Amino acid sequence: MLIIYQLVDNGAGPELHIRDAFAGSRVLVTGASGFLGTALVCKILTSLPDVAEILLVVRTKPGAPAADRVQRRVLGSNAFERLRESSDWESLAAKVTTLDGDLREDRLGLSDDDFARLTGIDYVIHSAATVAFDAPVDEAFETNLVGPQRLLDTLEAAGAHPKRIVHVSTAYVAGLVKGHVPEAPWMDTPGRPRLDWQAELASARTTRSTVEADSRTPERAKEFEKKARSEIGPAGAPAIAHRSEQLRRDFVSDRLIEMGRGRAQSLGWPDAYSFTKALAEMAVSSYRDRFPITILRPSIIESALREPFPGWVRGFRMADPIILAYGRGALSEFPGIPDAVVDVVPVDQVVNGILAAAAVEPAERVIHVTTGARTPMLYRDLVLHVHDYFHEHPYLDEDGQPILPEMWTFPGRRSVERKLRLATKGLNLAKRVLDHAPRGKFDARADRVDELLGEVDQADTYAKLYGGYAESEAVFDDERIRVLHDALDETEREMFPIAESIDWRAYLHDLHLPEITRRRGTVRRRSRPSPKSEVKTGAQNAIAVFDLEGTILGTNVVDSYLWLRLAASPRHEWSKRVLDLARGVPSMLAAERRDRGEFLRKFYRRYDGAPVDEMFELGAEAFSELILPRSFPAGLRRVREHRAAGHRVVFLTGALDFTIASLAPLADIVACARLRTEGGRYTGELEEVPYAGDARASYLRRLAKELGADLSQSYAYGDAISDLPMLEAVGHPVAVNPDPRLRRIARDRRWPMERWSPSEGTSRFTTPEKAFT
C-alpha cells in the first residue's frame, strides 16, 4: 500500500493498470449467482476481454444443476443484455466455466477434473456469503466463516498459487462503533473484545442440537399443540399434528436466529451477519503466510450507478423493503439517528474496487469501498429524498387515491418497540374476538385486522433487522480506494470508476427508486384479490366434491333440527323448544371449536327416539320450506357446470340423510351422516364416523382410488376450517364463504375464494307453515 502512496506522492504518475494485470489470467469467482457476483462477471467480460477464463463455483440445487443456474441466473440475467447483443458474445461466454461446487463441503465437493482446474488460477474473488441478517446462527457460521476456510484449504490442496485473493467482507465488521473506522484489521482496534473464532464456531455448531432438543420437550410439545388447536382444531388430529410440527420447526429457526443476534449484540455487532463476517476476517488472516490476501469491505451495496446499466439491481437490497413499506403507508415510524451517515455504495463501484484491489501490487491488507467519508448521506436526508419521491410518484390505494406518507420523526428504538408491542397486543385481541364473530358481517374488519397485524409484524422485523444500521454512527475511512483511483490512468479511471462523488437525490430519484418501485407495481391493496375459480373442461377423471351446509346451502344442522322439532310440536310449545335448544348452544359451540365430529355426535343425540318415517316425511317438507329457499344459486350453478364438464359430482356433508335427500339427484354420489335405528326409531347414534375434518380427506382418497380419479385435477368446495383436509387433498380447492381461520389460510395460499348467498329477500329462518296438532 505504501508503495502506491509513494508513487503518487512523488509524482511518478499512474502505476495501476487493471487491464494489463488481468490479461491472459484465469479468475476464480464464488458467489457469481448473487447480486454482486453477477455484476462482477459481467464487468470482467465487458471491460477485461483479454481474460483467459472465468471459473464460477456454483452449487447444484434440487432441479437446478450448477451449469443451468449459471446460464439462467448469471449469463441469462438482464445484466448481460447488451453483451448478448454483441457480435463477440459467443466467444466471451465461452470463457466462462462452471465448477459444480459447494462451500459447505470439504474440497468444495468438486469432481477430480474440476479440482485439477484450480491449479494455475491467477486471481480468486470470494464473494459468496449468507447475506441475510436473520439467518440461523449455525447456517451463518457455516457459510460466512467456514466457507472461506474451505475455499482456502481447497486452493492449497490443489497446489494453487494465485497472485491475489480478494475476500469480500463488509464495512460493518466494525460493529456498533462511533466515529471514524480505519482500514485495518478490526481485531487491532483498541477496546474490541479478544475473541477465539474457533471457540465461537464450536459453540454455534452445538446450538442447533440444543435447540432441537428443547423443541421436543413435553412442555414445548404441549405449547405447539395448544397453538395448533387454536388455529385449526376442527380440521382434525392429522392437521393439528402437521401444524404442530410446523410450529416446532419455526420455533427452532426463530430461536437460532435470536441466539445469533443475541450473541452478536452482546459483543458489539448488530447481527449474526456482521459478526460472522468479522470472525471470517480473523480466520482468513491466518492464511496470509500462504496466500496474498486482500480484505475488501463494501458498505450497503445498492443499484448500479453506471454498469451494467444505470439503476440495475437484483432482488431487493437491505434498505429496499423499508423504503417500499414506507411508500405504501405501512411503516409510519422507524428508529434511527437523523444525523447518522447511511453508507450506501453502488454495486458497480464495488466491482471496480474488487478489480483494482486484485490488481494492485503489493497486496493491500484491508480496503474500504464506501461513500460515507467522501460523499455522506445522512439518515434524515435519505428519508427526505424518499418522502419527496413518493409525494411526486405516489402509490395508489385500492380506491385509486394517492398514498402520501408522512415524514418520520426519528423516535428512539425503545419508543418504536413499545408502540409495536402495544399494537400487537391490541390487534391479537381483536383477532380472537373476530374469529368467533358471525360470518359475512365482520369479514372486512377481520381482513383489516389481519393486514394490520402483518404490517406491525413487518415493522417489528425491520426494526430488529435494520434498526442497528439506522443508528450506526460509524464513518468508514476510504483513503486507500481513493489512492487506487488516483493511481489509474485517465482511460482506466473512466472504465473503472471507484471513487466518484454521488448526488444522492438524483441517484435515488432517477435510478434506484424508479427501479424498485417499478417491479412492485403502483397499487397498494389492503388484501390481494383471490384468484378466480374456474371449471376446466377436459379432465374426465376429475371429481368435484362439495360440502353442503354453508357452501351450497345457507342452513346448518341446527337450523334443520329446530325446524323439524317445531314441525313435530304444537305451536304453543315452540318457545319451549327454542329455549331448550338455546341452553345447549354454549356447550355445542365449544365442541365445534374443538372438533366438528365431536359436535355432530353430541348434537345428533337429540334425535334419540325420533320416528324414522316421520323424519323423512318432515325432512322433505323442511327441504321445500327452509333449505331450498336458503340455497345459493351460484353454488347450484357451479354444480351444473361440473356435471357439464364431465366431472363426477360428490356431496360430502355431515348433514343427516333425511334432511338433504331431496338434493341427492343433483349429485353422482352423496356421502352424508346416518343415524342408527331400532324398532323404527333413531337411537341418536351415528352409524359410522362423521364426515368431518380429516375423515373427509380419507374418504376422498379412498373414493378416488375406487373411481380411478385424479385428485390433482379435482375440485373441492368448503366453508369452514374443518374442511381444510378436504381442500388440501385436491388440486383445485375453493373456499366458499370461509370462516376467519379458513379465509386466512386461503388468502395465504392464494386459493380462490367465493362469496355465495341466497336469493335476495330470503329470510334467515322460516318456521314450519303447519304446526303439529
In whole angstroms, give the CA distance from residue 517 to residue 327: 9
Contact present, 131 and 273 (Cβ < 8 Å): yes
Q: How far does the chain reach from its first CA to its final CA, in angstroms?
A: 108
pLDDT, residue 314, reads: 86
pLDDT, residue 439, reads: 67
pLDDT at 668 over 70: yes
* Averaged pLDDT for residues 348-356: 97
pLDDT, residue 508, reads: 95
pLDDT at 689 over 50: yes
* Averaged pLDDT for residues 485-500: 93
Q: 701 φ, ψ to 5°?
A: -65, -40
Fold designation for 543-754: Rossmann fold (3.40.50)
In whole angstroms, give the CA distance from residue 719 to residue 736: 5
Please determine whether the domains at 13-195+267-516 and 543-754 fall in the same fold group of CATH.
yes
The predicted-structure confidence for 418-444, as pLDDT tens digits, reads as follows: 888 888 888 888 887 887 776 667 777
- Identify the weakest region by mean pLDDT among 62-71, 296-305, 534-543, 739-748: 534-543
> CA nearest 251: which of 207, 206, 211?
211
Contact present, 39 and 308 (Cβ < 8 Å): yes
User: Quick one: three-class SS letters along 205-252?
Assistant: HHHHHHHHHHHCCHHHHHHHHHHHHHHHHHHCHHHHHHHHHHHHHHHH
Distance between alpha carbon 449 and the CA centroid of its chain, in Å? 20
pLDDT at 319 over 80: no
Domain ranges in the chain?
13-195+267-516, 205-266, 543-754
pLDDT, residue 536, reads: 84
Question: Which pLDDT band holds residue 364 (cuts at 50, 70, 90)?
Answer: confident
How far CA 480 is from CA of 112, 376, 401, 743, 763, in Å, comes to 40, 17, 50, 57, 81
Q: Decide: residue 665, CB within 10 A, 0-12 exposed, 13-18 middle, 19+ buried.
A: exposed
pLDDT at 371 over 50: yes
pLDDT at 674 over 60: yes
CA atoms within 13 Å, Cβ hemisphere of 527: 23
In whole angstroms, give the CA distance from residue 644 to residue 99: 55
- Identify the weakest region by mean pLDDT among 214-228, 412-426, 477-491, 492-506: 412-426
- Count CB atoms within 10 A of the CB of residue 371: 26
C-alpha cell read off for 257: 436466529
pLDDT, residue 699, reads: 94
Cis bond before residue 308 (omega within 30° of 0): yes
Amino acid symbol at 767: T
CA dihedral for 285, 289, 290, 295, sign (positive or negative): positive
pLDDT, residue 528, reads: 59
In whole angstroms, give the CA distance from residue 601 to residue 683: 12
pLDDT, residue 519, reads: 63
Average pLDDT score over the chain = 89
C-alpha cell read off for 23: 490479461
For 142-190, the DSSP string reads IIIIIHHHHHHHHHHHTT---SEEEEE--GGGG-S-EEEE-SS-GGGST
pLDDT at 318 over 90: no
User: Residue for cell digits 417489528?
Assistant: 460
pLDDT at 7 over 80: no
pLDDT at 592 over 60: yes
- Count CB atoms within 10 A of the CB of residue 575: 9
Q: How many residues does the chain have?
A: 773
Question: Which pLDDT band holds residue 1 (cuts at 50, 70, 90)?
Answer: very low
User: Residue for cell digits 506522492?
Assistant: 9
In whole angstroms, give the CA distance from residue 590 to residue 89: 69
CA dihedral for 536, 542, 547, 552, sign (positive or negative): positive
In whole angstroms, give the CA distance from residue 495 to residue 508: 23
* Averaged pLDDT for residues 496-514: 93
The predicted-structure confidence for 184-242, as pLDDT tens digits, reads as follows: 999 887 777 889 999 999 999 999 999 999 999 999 999 999 999 988 888 888 999 99
In whole angstroms, give the CA distance from residue 610 to residue 565: 10
Which of 568 and 89 is assigned the larger pLDDT?
A: 89
Question: Which pLDDT band holds residue 529 (cuts at 50, 70, 90)?
Answer: low
> What whole-number percentage of the chain has pLDDT above 90?
64
pLDDT at 723 over 90: yes
CB neighbour list of residue 442: distance below 8 Å, 6 or more residues apart: 434
CA dihedral for 660, 664, 667, 668, sign (positive or negative): positive
pLDDT at 501 over 50: yes
- Identify the weakest region by mean pLDDT among 327-331, 461-465, 547-551, 560-564: 461-465
Q: Which residues are 718's β-sheet partners?
A: 735
CB neighbour list of residue 681: distance below 8 Å, 6 or more residues apart: 609, 610, 611, 612
- Count CB atoms within 10 A of the CB of residue 216: 12
> What whole-number percentage of the chain has pLDDT above 70?
95
Fold designation for 13-195+267-516: Rossmann fold (3.40.50)
The predicted-structure confidence for 60-119, as pLDDT tens digits, reads as follows: 999 999 999 999 999 999 999 999 999 899 999 999 999 999 999 999 999 999 999 999
Enumerate helices (H) and strands (E) in the chain, giving the number of each.
32, 21
pLDDT at 772 over 60: no
